Amino acid sequence: MVKNDSNLEKLKLDNYQYFCWSLASYFSNYLLNKDIESITYIDSDILLYTDIEDLLKEMGDVEVGIFKHRQFDPSMYRPEGLFNVGIVYFKKGDVGQHILKWWSDAVQFKKYPNLATCGDQKYLDEFPNMCPSELIFIDGNIGHGAPWQWQLYDFFDFKNDGSITWNGIKQKLYFTHFSQFKLNDDYSGYTPSTQHHIYTPLEKYKENDGLKFIYDDYFEKMIKTKDKYNG
């Protein structure tokens, strides 16, 4: 947090959860105004299956990058928004900096009540309206998963070549959003998602061997990371 920012300090005292929601846009905006060329915000519960540079290369020469909630028709109204804040990209430039600052200010000061329906997220719905089409990347051919999307995919090839099939299109799975994944207290196992209804309870999720492989792999990586840093 930027020192002596009275507005952010007040938000922290008034509503701590909303304060946490505000930090993705706030801190990204703060960093992009430093001596860097771009910023990629990534949620802490996301696992990348490739180098971040591969993802950025796939996006191309744009100033903004966002990813869909793929299960929603773009014409629908959804309080959680049509895009997910899991990964959001901004490049230094007139458009990228303008949109990131707009997002940060809108979230921090709770502007635009029609967009203030799910923390910082629904504000992303406005990005395509604010950005020339050639300067914004929206999903492309980047495969990405989350508990609310798994029912859309065929996982037949994932264990062989890291790909999934969506809408009949084979895509490399670049990242997974392990939202509300929970380790057991003794680290002996896990619950894939504690609230999202897709593939919860565990019995339903276990019916899909490819999906089970994805979650078992994440569980093993979590345990190795814990052992590496905590002993």
| Domain extents in the chain | 6-138, 143-230
For residue 207, what pLDDT is reported?
Answer: 65
> Which pTM was predicted?
0.91
Mean pLDDT, residues 107-125 taken together: 93
Residue type, 125: D
Residue 175 pLDDT > 80, yes or no? yes
The pLDDT of residue 145 is 92
Residue 211: predicted pLDDT: 85
pLDDT score at 192: 86
Whether the pLDDT of residue 200 is over 50: the answer is no
What is the chain's mean pLDDT, rounded? 90
pLDDT value of residue 204: 58
- Alpha carbons 18 and 21: distance in angstroms, whole number: 5
Phi, psi of 171 (to 5 degrees): -135, 145
Find the mean pLDDT for residues 14-43: 94
